[in-house]
Amino acid sequence: GIRISCAKRPVSAADIERMIGQVESQLQKMGKAEISSRVVGDLVMEALKEVDQIAYVRYAIVYLGLDDLKEIRKEIDQLLES
């Protein structure tokens, strides 16, 4: 999902690998045998938000199931406010 979201964006392979490593590290620190996909998705969204906002929006559309322009705009507005 990270790679697809970052496709054709100015995000280097090193940045993608760093994000993946960061998410994996946070998951390992939780020390749980099983972690919900929701937790993983939330961590990925936070990492993408810091690296590339367009990649973040791409990921959010799929991950959050945003299926109309009003929902997408709301997410973009929240991103711009932070």
Hey, what's the torsion of the CAs at 44, 48, 50, 55, to 10 degrees?
-160
Q: What are phi and psi of 32, to 5 degrees?
A: -105, 145
What is the mean pLDDT, run by run of 10 residues, along the chain of 82 residues?
A: 95 96 94 91 94 95 93 92 84
What is the model's pLDDT at position 33? 87
Q: What is the pTM of this model?
A: 0.86
